[in-house]
């Protein structure tokens, strides 16, 4: 992160600046026109109704705004029950999926406290479940690759087919086809439908478009159920898509970096380890295009866990008397004999070897402390040894 941090921070700042400038150019004129239209309509109402004062109109608008903030329909005679069972399930789903449309929100103190506690427990649970759902889709892709490989399809074609089906299935089921359903049931345009699909599945959730909440429309009974299932499946697919996309970008960056270093001749650069090439005759039995999800990363938690396992498996030295201040010294080497005892063993060997050399003056003394000896050397060695011992 130390080398990539400044670059990524600069990229984020630049990307936000460009996005802010484009949104300002596109949306500010529309906001100015809407504001001018609102002021003009207020003036027309005051002209048409002479008995209505400006203060009275502002009071009416304040009441309407407060009612709209509480989730009450301010137009028409039909009022949608915001907190019935079906709508409460939808609201709970927006919490655990972190979509948070914002069209409905708790207004009581108890409801807001429970919303915090509910989100603390539900969001991790939902993320784990969506991850498992994504793994289920990955397993289906692996099984498809097994079937294709058994039929004799090459590895590259299998990779291409699995990737293409993954992308086509996700784009069609979650982005391209749902807007037609929303157009038929909600009365939206196709652009509004695909806009709602993207905002929902990316958990942005502005709340300007929400499916199944219009009080003036009679929805099919299972419409909301299928909408919820579509959201969960879309979240699982989009999480896989973003992970796969990021993995492809990282791999492409690694390839470009290797090529860049290959053309540079840096003297102090350490040689890169050569990867062993796979045997071309061995054909894999399965292709997993999401194998990067099972790779282990050395993040904070894994490093701390490895340290704990290493400390647990380390065996302390036994039968060592030490104070508590030195209790962390775990590797103390013990000697079989004391240095003095080891010297005494060498002296005894000298006596034995000296007696053995009296018969043959030219025999090499292998156990003595000195090199080769002649006729009178054993006697001198004994005298030297006795004086050394004393």
Q: Which tens digit of pLDDT belongs to each residue from 244-298? A: 777 777 777 677 777 777 766 555 555 555 444 445 556 566 666 666 555 555 4
The predicted model scores a pTM of 0.64
pLDDT at 226: 92
pLDDT in the model for residue 163: 85
CB 293 within 8 A of CB 130: no
Q: Are 225 and 121 in contact (CB under 8 A)?
A: no
Instruction: Give the count of beta carbons closer than 10 Å to the beta carbon of residue 331.
Output: 8
Q: What is the pLDDT of residue 187?
A: 92
Does the structure show a pLDDT above 90 at 318? no
pLDDT > 90 fraction of the chain, expressed in percent and rounded: 29
Residue 14 Cα distances to 8, 11, 238, angstroms: 10, 5, 25
pLDDT of res. 98: 92
3-state secondary structure at position 267: coil
| Rounded CA separation 316/328 (Å) | 9
Is the pLDDT at 144 greater than 60, yes or no? yes
What is the rounded end-to-end Cα distance, in angstroms, of the chain? 69
187: left (phi over 0), alpha (psi -120 to 50) or beta: left
Q: What angle do CA 357, 358, 360 make, to 5 degrees?
A: 65
> Where does residue 271 fall: left (phi above 0), alpha (psi -120 to 50 degrees), or beta otherwise?
beta
3-state SS, 137-199, equals: HHHHHHHHHHHHHHCCCCHHHHHHHHHHHHHHHHHHHHHHCHHHHHHHHCCCCHHHHHHHHHH
Query: What are the residues whose beta carbons fall under 8 Å from the beta carbon of 115, sequence distance 6 or more?
Result: 95, 106
Q: Residue 323 has what pLDDT?
A: 55
Bigger pLDDT: 134 or 48? 48
Structure tokens at 253: 């960056």
CB 213 within 8 A of CB 200: no
What does the DSSP 8-state code read for residue 326?
G
Which residues lie closer than 8 Å to 356 by C-beta, 6 or more apart?
Answer: 363, 365
């Amino acid at each position: 992160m130390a080398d990539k941090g400044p670059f990524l921070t600069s990229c984020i700042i630049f990307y936000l600046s460009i996005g802010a400038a484009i949104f300002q150019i596109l949306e500010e004129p529309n906001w100015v026109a809407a504001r001018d239209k609102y002021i003009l309509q207020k003036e027309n109402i005051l002209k048409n109704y002479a008995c209505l004062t400006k203060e009275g109109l502002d009071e009416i608008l304040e009441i309407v705004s407060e009612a709209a903030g509480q989730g009450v329909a301010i137009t028409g005679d039909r009022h949608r029950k915001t907190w019935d069972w079906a709508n409460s399930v939808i609201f709970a789903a927006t919490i655990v999926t972190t979509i948070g449309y914002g069209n409905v929100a708790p207004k009581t103190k108890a409801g807001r406290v429970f919303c915090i506690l509910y989100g603390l427990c539900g969001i991790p649970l939902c993320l784990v479940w969506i991850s498992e759902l994504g793994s289920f889709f990955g397993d289906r892709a692996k099984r498809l690759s097994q079937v294709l490989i058994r039929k004799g399809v090459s590895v590259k074609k299998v990779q291409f087919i699995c990737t293409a089906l993954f992308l086509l299935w996700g784009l069609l089921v979650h982005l391209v086809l749902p807007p037609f359903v929303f157009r038929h049931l909600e009365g939206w345009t196709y652009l509004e439908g695909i806009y709602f699909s993207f905002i929902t599945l990316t958990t942005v959730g502005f709340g300007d478009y929400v499916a199944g909440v219009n009080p003036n429309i009679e929805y099919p009974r299972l419409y909301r159920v299928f909408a919820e299932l579509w959201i969960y499946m879309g979240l699982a697919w989009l999480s896989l898509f973003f992970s796969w996309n990021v993995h492809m970008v990282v791999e492409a960056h690694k390839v470009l970096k290797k090529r860049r270093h290959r053309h540079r001749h840096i003297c102090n650069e350490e040689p890169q380890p050569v990867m062993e090439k796979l045997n071309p005759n061995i054909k894999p039995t399965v292709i997993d295009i999401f194998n990067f999800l099972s790779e282990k990363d050395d993040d904070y938690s894994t490093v701390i866990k490895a340290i704990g396992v290493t400390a647990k498996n380390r065996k302390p030295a036994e039968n060592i008397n030490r104070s508590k201040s030195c209790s962390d010294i775990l590797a103390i080497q013990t000697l079989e004999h004391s240095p003095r005892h080891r010297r005494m063993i060498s002296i005894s060997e000298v006596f034995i070897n000296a007696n053995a050399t009296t018969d043959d003056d030219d025999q090499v003394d292998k156990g003595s402390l000195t090199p080769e000896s002649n006729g009178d050397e054993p006697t001198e060695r004994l005298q030297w040894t006795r004086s050394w011992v004393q």
